[in-house]
Structure 1
Amino acid sequence: MRYAGLLGLAVVGALALSSCAANESAPAAADSTASAGPTLSGTLNGAGSSAQGAAQEAWIAAFQTANPDVTINYDPTGSGAGRETFIGGGSDWAGSDSSLNDDELAGEFAGCKPGSSAIDLPTYISPIAVIFNIDGVKDLNLDAATIAGIFKGTITTWNDPAIAALNEGATLPSTAITAVHRSDDSGTTKNFTDYLNKVAPEVWDAKAADAFPYQTGEGAQGTSGVVDAVTNGTGTIGYADASKAGDLGVAKVKVGDEFVKYTAEAAAAVVNDSPLVEGRDANDIAVSLDRLTTDPTHYPLVLVSYSIVCQEYADADQAALVKAYVGYITSEEGQQEAAKSAGAAPLSSELASKVADALATVK
């Protein structure tokens, strides 16, 4: 990884001590990267993406172990709430499963230096799993149009002909479908609805949005709320960051002529082959995901979760902490920690290099 100065903090030492508790004060090893730079101290507050939750727990534990004078708080309130908190100056960075929109970029950011804007830095790549809980059904194939019909409320039972046609030979019950969506503003919802609108626009006529667009199904708060509702219901289906799927059934999604099970590698492949959003600042690395791929080695129902930071902070000390922490979590070591603890797909070396270069300009 190419990031200098403070960005070199907490990498080797963090991972070497990652099995220690986050509140232990054992110093980093003498030859560790963490001990090579200036001592860090202070408190860093972040909020946002619940999809990043498991990875953030692991990252924070490792970073605080290597830097015992630093306290990091992360509140997984959801992407929309996280962006609002950051914009209002209530946090030092935001985790978000969708990049800042044009209206947000045109506004003011209370924690940034007056006249400075914010940038999106890819941090966490993960498939979105279509999770289900149907008595007697372990395997389920779905295409985008059928998923759209289920969540829009036009397909209402599990033995509907549209579902049966995709699952030849399967015994599907006549159980009513309960489709569970996020009740809060969510970047996971925005990615899920973007996929449906791009791939099945004849059914899903609503544009991508953080808020679920239809008055159908059952709403639940956060990733954990959706998972709990699907787990505790009957004939339920939902969508969630794949790291939280647990023992629930997970549908295979049709890509081209094949039904594809999500993998971290297939999610990373889509991101690697997708262009950046046009018209952004050179340091704003927002990805325009290729949902229409027909390559079965790709899994297009994927989210890229960002760390949203100031291009220039009003408080230089907070800028130093943000650069050190985000530099660690987007480093090769930090990405491997997320892969181990949350099943995330690591950033490619090319994308990680872009993130490091952009982060180096933050001040």
Structure 2
Amino acid sequence: MTRTSLSRAFVPGIAVLTVLALSACGASNEDGGSDNSGDGGSSSGPESAGLTGVLKGAGATSQEKAQEAWAIGIQGANDGFEVQYQPVGSTDGRASFVEGAAAFAGTDSALNDDDGQLTAAKKTCGGTEPIQVPAYVSPIAVAFNLPGIDSVQASADTIAKIFDGKIKKWSDIPDEQADGVTLPDTDITPVHRSDDSGTTKNFTDYLGKAAPESWPYEAEDAFPVKGEAADGTSGVIQQISTIEGAIGYADNSQAEGLGKVSVQVGESFVAPSPEGAAKVLEASPPAEGVSDVDMAVALDRTTTEEGAYPVVLLSYLVACQKYDDADTAKNVKGYLSYIVSDAGQEQAAKEAGSAPLGEATAKKAQEIVAKIGS
């Protein structure tokens, strides 16, 4: 099997999330994290033990907190094992995997052949179908900065008009969507991702499907409207926090301290929550034409199920079924097995605020990851 050497450098200038085994002694592990130490948790299995060396991954910035939590959990059970995850965004993470710079990728936009990456990944994986399993489901918060205001209600149509520059002041939001507050005559500054991002693709997919008359753009990794932009999830959060009147979109786990929009679902307005995100996943069918090791899902953005929150991303892990190097295969299998285990899912839910995979989804993901070998 031909695979580009994993020894090549990661993207220059991008910080690598490295959580040393010593981090297991930190606060995250002390506050209940010890349940996932030892053998990686009773439900993570023996394949998550006996790991050594450095494992490189790259991808979604939205996975950063979860990846840190998973690294702490797995490294606490494996002395001499180090996970390096580079949060470069979903698009660049998939590219790093295809090029062989990363042994696995995290992505908020399912690997497909819209850009030829699925075919390229099959070549990287020696002609076999790449594995794609969900890591977690998480709400995308539509977050804003208005001093003294924590919540605003808005329909998909209103959100689309805001991000397309059609609604320019907070006071222009319809009164019935103001959630009982008087909105100021403050300019709205929409903030979007400057880098190609799976979060952007999920957000624009929601707008296009839930508000097709007000959002004429395709779902893409690149945001289609010019305006205030920032790199990565952390950059968007920083920009929103800095600019009064700003509004943007980001993984809910990283939007604490900001106001959040409750989006209209049927006749109700629903705030972002892991439980609401999980309801959308349960109501969504598999994507068309996927292989038996690909769990990509066509998320239902127009659900009217009570309590569902449709502005969600389903974050995936991408890996090969086979690796030339036996140690790499063991490490990828061990780490991904931990992530999709009960212990790993509980760790991410506690530390990153994601919704754990449902029992049937987790079981299928575990069966697929078990196929990884050399």
User: What TM-score, normalized by structure 2, do the two folds share?
Assistant: 0.86
Report Cα offsets for 1:40-77 as digits up to 9, x if no partner: 21210001111111111111011111101211101111
What secondary structure sits across from 1:214 in the alignment?
Answer: coil
Higher mean C-alpha deviation, range 47-56 or range 128-137: 128-137
Where does residue 107 of structure 1 map in the other structure? Answer: 120
Residue 141, structure 1, aligned to residue 141, structure 2: no
Question: Which residue, 167, 179, 186 being the options, matches 1:155?
Answer: 167
Q: d(CA) in 2 for partners of 1:33 and 1:198?
A: 38
Report deviation, 1:212: 0.4
Letter in 2 for 1:122: P
Q: Which residue of 2 aligns with 1:179?
A: 190
Deviations 1:63-115 (A, max 9, x none): 11110121110111111111111111000000000110222112245752x22
Contact residue 88 and residue 110 of structure 1 kept, 8 A? no
| Counterpart Cα distance in 1 of 2:42 and 2:367 | 23
Return the match for 1:251 from 252, 255, 261.
261
TM-score normalised over the length of structure 1: 0.88
Which residue of 263, 275, 293 maps to 1:283? 293
* Structure 2 unmatched runs, 5+: 1-22, 32-36
- Aligned partners of 2:157, 2:46: CA distance in 1, in Å? 54
Contact 1:78 1:222 in 2 (8 A): yes
Q: Are 1:90 and 2:101 counterparts?
A: yes
Q: 1:115 to 1:34 in 2, by over 3 A?
A: closer
Paired positions, count: 342
2:364 matches 1:354: yes
CA RMSD of aligned residues (A): 2.5
Contact 1:255/1:295 (CA < 8 Å) preserved in 2? yes
| Counterparts of residues 33-48 of structure 1 (less than 5 Å) | 39-48=50-59
Question: Deviations for 1:257-288, whole angstroms, at most 9, x for unmatched residues?
Answer: 00111221111111012111111111100011
| Cα 1:146/1:34, change in 2 over 3 Å | closer
The alignment status of 1:231 with 2:241, answered yes or no, reads yes
Whole-Å Cα distance in 2 between the matches of residues 236 and 35 of structure 1?
Answer: 45
Cα distance, 1:138 vs structure 2: 2.7
- The equivalent of 2:283 in structure 1 is 273
List aligned pairs for 1:2-21, cutoff 5 A.
Answer: 19=29
Partners of 1:16 and 1:122 in 2: how far apart? Answer: 28
Secondary structure at 1:292's aligned position in 2?
A: coil
Give the Cα separation in 2 of the matches to 1:44 and 1:239.
Answer: 30
Distance 1:93 1:111 in 2: 12
The gaps in structure 1 that reach 5 residues or longer are: 1-13, 22-26
% same residue: 47
Partner of 2:134: 122
In 1: Cα distance, 2:151 partner to 2:121 partner: 48
- Amino acid corresponding to residue 209 of structure 1 in structure 2: E
